[in-house]
Structure 1
Amino acid sequence: MRQLSIPGAWVHEPEILPDSRGTFHEWFRASDLGEAAGHPLGLAQANFSVSRRGTLRGIHFADVPPGQAKYVKCVRGAVLDVIVDVRAGSPTYKRWEGVRLDDTDHRAVYLAEGLGHAFMALTDDACVLYLCSEGYAPGREHGIDPLDAELGIAWPAEIAPLLSGKDAGAPSLAEAEQQGLLPSYAECEAYYARLRAAAPPAARRPLAPAGR
Structure 2
Amino acid sequence: MKLLTFDLTQKQYDEFFAPIRSKVEIILLLMKIIKYMLIEPPVEAPKNSFYMILKVSKMSRIFLISPKKHFSISFPFTVINPDDKVYFKSKNLDSISSKMTSDVIGFFNKNNSLSSSSIYDFVEPIDELTLEEPGTWQFIKELMLFEEGYIRYDHDEKHEDGDNHPLHHLDVFYSSSPTFKIGLKTGYKKLELLDLLDLENTCKYLS
Smaller-chain TM-score bracket: under 0.3
Higher helix share: 2
The structure whose Rg is larger is 2
TM-score (norm 1): 0.25
Relative contact order, higher structure (CA 8 A, sep 6+): 1
